[in-house]
Amino acid sequence: MSTQKYIIGTFNDEEPLLEAVKEVRAAGTPIHECYTPFPVHGLDEALGYRRSRLPRAAFMFGVLGFSLALFMQAWMLGFDWPMNIGGKPALAWPDFVPVTFELTVLITALGMVGTYLVASGFLPGAEAKMPDIRCTSHVFCIAIPSNTADYDKMHALLMRHGADEVAEREIEL
Amino acid sequence: MYESPIRRPLITGKTSYAQITDDIATAVEAKPTKWWYIGFIVSLAGLGLWLLTVTYLLVTGVGVWGLNKTVDWGWDITNFVWWVGIGHAGTLISAILLLFRQKWRTAVNRSAEAMTIFAVICAGTYPLLHAGRPWVIYWVFPLPNTYGSLWANFNSPLLWDVFAISTYFTVSLVFWYVGLIPDLATIRDRAEGVRKKIYGLLAFGWNGSAKAWQRFESVSLILAGLATPLVLSVHTIVSMDFATSVIPGWHTTIFPPYFVAGAVFSGFAMVLTLLIIMRKVMRLEAYITLNHIDVMNKIILVTGSIVGSAYITEFFIAWYSAVPYERYAFVNRAFGPYWWAYWAMMTCNVITPQLFWSRKLRRNITAVFIISIFVNIGMWFERFVIIVTSLHRDYLPSSWAMYSPTWVEIGMFIGSLGLFFTLFFLFAKFLPVIAIAEVKSIVKTSAEEHIKKTAEKEGIDIKEVNPQIA
């Protein structure tokens, strides 16, 4: 856990932040991250983030849940302990539909949310790494790593877009 | 995103992001109001009654209920179905309306989802206690055992129900908590001392980074996509507990859609009952506006009409089937010894929601509150009618019987209301009752101030196109 120097710019609205991000990127300066109180649409694209792979993880968990549920029921009722219920087939596939569906949903939901939390490092009691605690209320922040950016240029750029303050700080993000 | 200035505002008054945080977080930070204490103490008394009756039941056995050999499902299963149904509105608001991109859901989804979770908890207690020996309830799960292994019977709708309800509860809880994390972080970052520690623990280190929000939105969307068929499946499976049996009045294919519509109908009534009180007590009128109440009343009108049509269809099909038992079951419902329950159901569920065709009534808080209570009562009677009138007179007249609840059943029902409201009052005090981040994300399109600004920019006279704002 090491600290690093960042240029932190704060805004009071999402629109100037979005414009600033586009211009910083256009100038070829890498951005570490942006911090906002709510999801700002288009910000992930402006930052050049790839689409999240969580839907793919969810699909995999879905396939896993579906297979496990169907296999479990078929094995238990069809092979391990078949019951003679009025001579009807022990492998009653239509009867397995509801539980297969429920378990598919359950395992998909738990698996995906688990992946999301672990991948993002969100665990009970984890420390929040953010440049400004007002970011969860009404402040929109941009963090630019100092080692690859020119402070004066960035300061001017962010201020031109209406930043409330721009400062260089050594923090852990 | 552009929004036409003719849209009705979803947030009234002055709205800045800081103001929204203040308005909602203050309710969590400030000392509770006098009304909160009064409500909480009354609910605790109900919870006490619940604990008393449940303890008596466990010590003595299910014989303390009024059930008999003929009517072996009574208030317990009635209450179970009623509570599960109430939960459905929360999931509808949080999942289905998210998929349809309905912006008004942002103000009500948090509390509606909380209501879902608490209602499912109340629902779950009934089959648990009805099982007679709750300490061996794990037998319903397919766990390896020394009897064979003798597995659970996956052919049984009652077992499907176990999976449906437990999945529904788990997924609803996870969905709710995922949405809560950013707002818990908001509270954490305003708090100090012990409170900061507790909310910090609960907020999982949320930092509001663009990557986190991207993942958050992705997860929310998929959870909504999962919860949508899930909520439809839950009451479908509950209805199969009845529909797959051979009892006249139960053995009908109309049950799944009819139960789902009824569930949404009763759920929205309960959402309105709760929110009308909550917006007043917690001063959230700027966020839960008359427009929100209006749209929810429209959903009540639609689902209430579906339920009404289902009642009539059932009657028609009973006659059309030409099965004497089926015909008798329905005549007996309306004119037999439980006629009063049937007509209470018909009045509350078929007639009262039709009042919502009137825009004036949809926007009259007192009228909406009274009608919502009527719907709650009506939907309770629906379950009572379906269960008790169908069971008490079946194929063999020699086994016909009557059923009435004992004080234990009545106490447990009132007690479960106590359990529900205790949980809801605790939620209202300790967690943000409105999704703070989500409300902020609709400010630029749906706040009164911004609608005015858009109109100004386009040179439109706001008074002409949107008289409600002017």
Print pLDDT tens along chain A (173 aa): 578 889 999 998 888 898 899 989 888 888 999 999 999 988 988 898 999 899 999 999 999 999 999 999 999 999 999 988 899 999 999 999 999 999 999 999 999 999 999 999 999 988 888 888 888 998 999 999 988 888 888 888 888 888 888 888 888 88
Phi-psi region of A30 (alpha: psi -120 to 50; beta: other; left: phi over 0): beta
Contact between chains at B233 and A98 (C-beta distance less than 8 A): yes
Contact between chains at B214 and A44 (C-beta distance less than 8 A): yes
Q: What is the pLDDT of residues B420-452, one digit of tens each?
A: 999 999 998 899 988 888 888 888 777 777 777
- Give the whole-angstrom CA distance, residue A126 versus residue B219: 20
Structure tokens at B234: 């839950």
Q: What is the pLDDT of residues A135-163, one digit of tens each?
A: 899 899 999 998 888 888 888 888 888 88
pLDDT at B449: 75
Contact between chains at A137 and B164 (C-beta distance less than 8 A): no
Contact between chains at B222 and A58 (C-beta distance less than 8 A): yes
Taking the mean position of all CA atoms in its chain, how far away is CA B457?
42
Residues in CB range of B412: below 8 A, 6 or more apart: B50, B53, B54, B57, B75, B76, B79, B129
Asked if residues A172 and A4 have their Cβ atoms less than 8 Å apart, the reply is: yes
Asked if residues B37 and B428 have their Cβ atoms less than 8 Å apart, the reply is: no
Chain B residues touching A105 at Cβ < 8 A:
167, 171, 226, 229-230
CATH class of B17-446: mainly alpha
HEC readout, B342-358? HHHHHHHHHHHHHHHHC
Chain B residues touching A38 at Cβ < 8 A:
182, 213, 437-438, 440-441
Considering only the beta carbons, identify the residue of A36, A80, A125 that sits closest to B213: A36
For the question of an ipTM over 0.90, the answer is yes
Asked if residues B1 and B461 have their Cβ atoms less than 8 Å apart, the reply is: no
Give the dihedral sign, CA B425/B427/B432/B433: negative
- Give the whole-angstrom CA distance, residue B361 versus residue B272: 14
Chain A residues touching B145 at Cβ < 8 A:
none
For residue A138, give the nearest of B437, B430, B210 by alpha carbon: B437
pLDDT at B1: 58
Contact between chains at B223 and A109 (C-beta distance less than 8 A): yes
pLDDT at B259: 92
CATH class of A4-51+130-171: alpha beta
The DSSP-derived string for B247-301 is: -TTT--TTHHHHHHHHHHHHHHHHHHHHHHHHHHHTT-TTTS-HHHHHHHHHHHH
Considering only the beta carbons, identify the residue of A38, A52, A138 that sits closest to B441: A38
pLDDT at B281: 82
Q: Answer whether the bond into residue B149 is a cis peptide, omega within 30°.
A: yes
Which residues of chain B fall short of a pLDDT of 50?
none
> Structural domain boundaries of chain B?
17-446
- Give the whole-angstrom CA distance, residue B312 versus residue B315: 5
Q: Taking CA atoms, what residue in A is nearest to B237?
A: A98
User: Within 10 Å of residue B412's Cβ, how many Cβ atoms?
Assistant: 28
Residues in CB range of B312: below 8 A, 6 or more apart: none
For residue B351, give the nearest of B335, B368, B332, B375 by alpha carbon: B375
pLDDT at B146: 87
Report strand pairing: A33-35 vs A4-11: unpaired
Asked if residues A110 and B170 have their Cβ atoms less than 8 Å apart, the reply is: yes
When scoring A120, A123, A164, A171 by the number of chain B Cβ atoms within 10 A, the one with the most, hence best to mutate, is: A120
> Structural domain boundaries of chain A?
4-51+130-171, 54-120
Contact between chains at B207 and A130 (C-beta distance less than 8 A): yes
Contact between chains at A137 and B185 (C-beta distance less than 8 A): no
User: Within 10 Å of residue B141's Cβ, how many Cβ atoms?
Assistant: 12
Contact between chains at B205 and A126 (C-beta distance less than 8 A): yes
Residues in CB range of B413: below 8 A, 6 or more apart: B75, B79
Asked if residues B92 and B100 have their Cβ atoms less than 8 Å apart, the reply is: no
Phi, psi of B350 (to 5 degrees): -100, -45
Chain A residues touching B204 at Cβ < 8 A:
117, 122-126
pLDDT at A1: 56
Taking the mean position of all CA atoms in its chain, how far away is CA B210?
33
Q: Taking CA atoms, what residue in A is nearest to B19?
A: A138
Structure tokens at A83: 């019951």
Considering only the beta carbons, identify the residue of A38, A55, A72 that sits closest to B222: A55
- Which residue type occupies B218? S
Q: Taking CA atoms, what residue in A is nearest to B244?
A: A95
DSSP 8-state class, residue A162: T
pLDDT at B469: 65
- Give the whole-angstrom CA distance, residue B89 versus residue B87: 6
